[in-house]
Amino acid sequence: MISLSEQTRTAIEFAGDLFRQSKHAVVLTGAGFSTPSGIPDFRSEGSGLWSRDEPLEVASLTTFRTAPEKFFNWFRPLAGQIFHAQPNPAHYALAELQKAGCMHAILTQNIDVLHQKAGSHAVIEMHGSMRTMSCTQCYHQEESFRYLDAFVSRGDLPHCPKCGMLMKPDVILFGEQLPQRAWQQAQREVHTCDLMLVAGSSLEVLPVAGLPLQALDRGAHLIIVNHSPTYLNVRADVAILDDVAEIIPAIAARVVHG
């Protein structure tokens, strides 16, 4: 906290007070939440995944179906980063908030399972998860850890143990619909929350980007912590342009310890 400006310290205190007054708080996390863990986001200039590759060419369902090797060549470095990543202080801070009963659920756009590794529960993975992969032919599902080491270290493609066809990580590619169950769970949380914290998301990807607006329209308070502004900063009760790994633990400390 010593290096933070007076304005930021005041914003953290106000955010903490909003959490303490809340009866049903939820958190929405995006790719920026995991960049301190060494996982690149998508849109940062120079380092974002889409600054180097055209998403529809490498990360679409069409590409996976017609040229799966192209998808896997692109996906392998990212899979390695996810495979070796560990939660950062922001992940642990959210787990602490949940354990203290100050936050109900985490809605995440991330596929890296770092929230669960940090000890969080009630994590709604709206863009799928790296935990499992499914056969594209017979739909048999397996835990990803059985295949990830060989894929990351040697490039061995995952094949179904039942029918031998390629298996696809259970992550949402361009051209796929969001998982229906996860989306319905997210909608229920948004419709009942009285506070939403958006952390590490630029709020540029629909339909998830519309969830905070739905919460606002239903009278919920909004806190945004992100390196760059979002379209809803002007409507947020608190908007902090800073590192989630520093700000989220500070907010959690204010909530839990006063």
Q: Which of 127, 140, 159, 221 is catalytic?
A: 127
Q: What is the Cα–Cα distance from 231 to 229, expressed in whole angstroms?
A: 7
H/E element, 114: helix 114-117
The dihedral built from the CA positions of residue 65, 70, 75 and 76, taken in this order, carries a sign that is positive
- Peptide bond before 158: cis, by omega within 30 degrees of 0? no
Site of tokens 């179906």: 65
Determine contact, residues 244/2, Cβ cutoff 8 Å.
no
Determine contact, residues 165/137, Cβ cutoff 8 Å.
yes
DSSP state, residue 156: P
Q: What is the Cα–Cα distance from 166 to 101, expressed in whole angstroms?
A: 42
Q: What is the Cα–Cα distance from 208 to 206, expressed in whole angstroms?
A: 5
DSSP state, residue 106: E
Is 221 a catalytic site residue? Answer: no
Crossing angle, helix 6-21 and helix 244-257, to 10 degrees? 50
Catalytic residues: 127
